[in-house]
Structure 1
Amino acid sequence: MIYLDNAATTKPCRECVRAVTETMENFYGNASSLHKMGTASINIINRAKQAVLKGLSLGGAPLEGDVIFTSGATESSNTALFGLNLRLGSKIVTTAMEHPSVARTIDRLAERGYNVVRLAPKDYADFEEAIINAVDENTSLVSCMAVNNETGFHVDVKRLYKAVKAKNPRAFVHIDAVQGFLKIPLDGDVISASGHKIHSSKGIGALYIKKGIALAPLLSGGGQQKNLRSGTEAVELIAGLEAAVNAYKYDFERFSELKNRLVGGISAIDNVKLNSDEKCLPNIVNFSVRGVRSEIMLHSLEQHDICVSSGSACSKGKTSGVLSAFGVSDKDADCALRVSMCAENTPEEIDFLCEKIAEAVKRFRR
């Protein structure tokens, strides 16, 4: 099996599997219990928090603040966006490339009376500058993803955070770091992260909360995690996340070599358009094989045990708004593919993929 859909989910690494198993077998105490088994669980949670804080800064000074653990990035983003004390009727600046877990949540805030401004990358040469320029004295929130899941387009969030705070210190900054965690340096008032995108397990996410930022809890109950996220902590999943964070290495040069190999291979095929440019991280490559619909190409590649994804993410016949935010036409979005790589992928797998795409084009192109 050639798995090239790592932006959707990743295979749990050995370190994660081992940590989850050992914790389930040996450290199954409730973290709220006062005995030594409870203390052992608390120690695991605190150790994982430090690993996440260190990972957010990517080698720099660890960010100041706290981390709570959630069921995933969807819960993390909902907790952040609904939990911040936003001034009613104020302005929210966000982008047209956001994941539905953020975009739909901001839609709900708009229904409550907030003025939402959405910016598209296709309209600006300097996207960070465009977001900064949209911030004014009435802005209460800026919400932006660090790395786009469909194209790999990335935002300099450290620059963005610093500039937004300089322009309006009262504005909160939320960063969706699902695809950017452990890949680029991050900063923000609240930052969402997911375990299963970095070779941890599904069902575990994290939310960074900068020192001094107050959040209202999304979930009420026993008051766990400083009353920010009630519910007994899944210590085994938290241990697995820590192990995955510590094991993860993002090799930019190697991914660049694989991307160049892929781009070279598909460029030899007539009428293929690249949708991921130099502003995109190299582990995600989006391109349109014109004349062959995504679904047809996916099923053709599947016959050769190749797993990629559709770049169009169609819903009820509607083309992906995310790709259109990057200037991709509906017609090209309908035949878009996303190849997303991990450290285990090889040049030979990329060559085989290109070979099978070329064969499918000869067979199915209309």
Structure 2
Amino acid sequence: MGQDEHPALAGRPVYLDYNATTPMDPRVVDVIQAALTTDFGNPSSAHAYAEGPRRRLTRAREQVAALLHAAPATVVFTASGSEADALAVRGAVLARAATVTGRPHVITQVTEHPAVLAACRHVQRWHDVDVTYLPVDRYGRINPGDVRAAITPETVLVTVMHANNETGTLQPIADIAEITRPRGILLHTDAAQGAGKVDLDVDKLGVDLLTIVGHKVYAPKGIAALYVREGVTLEPIIGGGGQERGLRAGTENVALAAALGAAADLAARGLAAGETGRLARLRDQLQAELTERLPGRVHLHGHPTLRLPNTLNIGIDDVIGRELLAAAPDVAGSTGSACHSGDDQPSASLLALGLTPGQAASALRLSLGRWTTAQQVTAAADSLTAALLTSGG
């Protein structure tokens, strides 16, 4: 699916930074153009110009819900994944603060996405909330037993990302849900990285809240969605009109919502056609080719099997990751989360695995996507190896 060369990638460096952002699928661009051209009306209006935008919003909600195996009414559109995470964390805490006798309590983990950590710090500082930050093991996975041990009578929310954006390590979300659900504790997961790469079924995961982000699934930046299980009450963080079931005020961006819906539909079709397996084969090919060219020097960061099919995070002995990428301009990769680009400090996520600062500095995050081919994988391995050997590394 989608293996014709993307016009934004043609003749340019091999793009291996899909976890940072994805190029818009041309089929999604077509949907945006149609919506902008013909359906400019306010979907809340009562005249004929509102009918087209309303239909597009309804269809988009259905498409996003289908990707998550959820009901359309559970999908709330937001302007970013960070906003969706904030609505989940702050909205849940504020809505449930009165249900506990003491200070509300939230549980998360140290390698969580920066948007979730920021939301946790916000409720700590401004809403007198206790937050527990649980450690992870050497693969980056949280122990569900640690979640169980951290729960108190005041715990109102557990938030653990579905897959780490740097290592791709998958978290045991369903196991955590078996702990939280019987206790009436809400469970949120930021699933921005997993959407379209692995199947996401909200019932199988057992989550109450789930974040999905447009620019991670070949839709534009500036659009995301929060799944809110039926019956879950949140306090809005943007007040005003009654849009999005009263959870997110502001006239809806119909064109971008339609784009996210179209992208979700394409992602669902890709999963059905075997995209997970295709990505995993290319990821393993890349790891094998680098290991063969640099025997004994390549070390995997994260879980060897319980990880996203498209994500390869490795360290190479005696190499600084950012310097290697700078010396290999034919490869567009990263050294970690794009949320921390320009920061020379070692990745906190990698340090949490027990790596030394030097080991963390050697990291490369190479993430594959819809337009990655086997030929590009080989070209990237050749380019990285040549840059390393040329520099005397």
TM-score, reference length from structure 2: 0.86
Shift of 1:295: 1.7
Rate the CA distance shift 1:315–1:329 in 2: closer, same or farther, 3 A.
farther
Q: Which moved more, 1:274-283 or 1:122-131?
A: 122-131
Structure 2 partner of 1:262: 286
Shift of 1:130: 3.3
Distance (Å, rounded) in 1 between the aligned partners of 2:245 and 2:72: 17
Matches within 5 A, 1:161-200: 161-166=177-182, 168-169=183-184, 171-182=185-196, 183-187=198-202, 188-200=207-219
Q: Is the 8 A contact 1:310 1:337 kept in 2?
A: yes
Taking only aligned residues, the RMSD between alpha carbons, in angstroms, comes to 2.0
Rate the CA distance shift 1:121–1:184 in 2: closer, same or farther, 3 A.
farther
Shift of 1:91: 2.3
Matched, 1:120 2:141: no
SS of equivalent to 2:328:
helix
SS of equivalent to 1:92:
strand
Matched, 1:284 2:299: no
Shift of 1:42: 1.3
Shift of 1:343: 2.2
Distance (Å, rounded) in 2 between the aligned partners of 1:237 and 1:314: 26
Matched, 1:275 2:301: yes
Distance (Å, rounded) in 1 between the aligned partners of 2:193 and 2:161: 8
Shift of 1:334: 0.7
1:150-176 deviation per Cα after TM superposition (whole angstroms, max 9, x unaligned): 01111242332233112x11x111111
Shift of 1:299: 1.2
Shift of 1:195: 0.4
SS of equivalent to 1:193:
strand
Structure 1 partner of 2:7: none
Letter in 1 for 2:238: L
Q: 1:104 aligns with which of 112, 115, 118?
A: 118
Q: Is the 8 A contact 2:135 2:142 kept in 1?
A: no
Shift of 1:126: 6.7
Distance (Å, rounded) in 2 between the aligned partners of 1:72 and 1:42: 21
SS of equivalent to 2:40:
coil
Letter in 2 for 1:223: G
Q: 1:18 aligns with which of 30, 48, 64?
A: 30
Shift of 1:317: 4.2
Matched, 1:147 2:163: yes
Shift of 1:315: 6.4
Distance (Å, rounded) in 1 between the aligned partners of 2:392 and 2:354: 23
Shift of 1:51: 1.3
Distance (Å, rounded) in 2 between the aligned partners of 1:35 and 1:56: 32
1:69-128 deviation per Cα after TM superposition (whole angstroms, max 9, x unaligned): 111110111111111124362321111111111111111222243222212322687734
Matched, 1:243 2:262: yes
Distance (Å, rounded) in 2 between the aligned partners of 1:327 and 1:186: 32
SS of equivalent to 1:142:
strand
Shift of 1:319: 1.5
1:282-303 deviation per Cα after TM superposition (whole angstroms, max 9, x unaligned): 201100122221221111222x
Q: Which moved more, 1:269-278 or 1:349-358?
A: 269-278
Letter in 1 for 2:74: D
Q: Is the 8 A contact 1:285 1:340 kept in 2?
A: yes
1:12-60 deviation per Cα after TM superposition (whole angstroms, max 9, x unaligned): 1122101000111111111111112212211211111111111113xxx
For structure 2, the residue ranges without an aligned partner over 5 or more in a row are 1-11
Structure 2 partner of 1:80: 88
Matches within 5 A, 1:216-255: 216-248=235-267, 249-250=270-271, 251-255=275-279
Distance (Å, rounded) in 2 between the aligned partners of 1:64 and 1:282: 28
Q: Which moved more, 1:344-353 or 1:355-364?
A: 355-364
Matched, 1:324 2:351: yes
Structure 2 partner of 1:31: 43
Distance (Å, rounded) in 2 between the aligned partners of 1:259 and 1:16: 26
Matched, 1:359 2:386: yes
Rate the CA distance shift 1:264–1:193 in 2: closer, same or farther, 3 A.
same
Q: Is the 8 A contact 1:15 1:240 kept in 2?
A: no
Distance (Å, rounded) in 2 between the aligned partners of 1:63 and 1:119: 32
Distance (Å, rounded) in 1 between the aligned partners of 2:322 and 2:310: 22
Q: 2:227 aligns with which of 187, 193, 208?
A: 208
Q: Is the 8 A contact 2:56 2:254 kept in 1?
A: yes
1:124-153 deviation per Cα after TM superposition (whole angstroms, max 9, x unaligned): 877344334433433111001001100111
Q: Percent identity?
A: 27
Letter in 1 for 2:26: R
Structure 1 partner of 2:325: 298
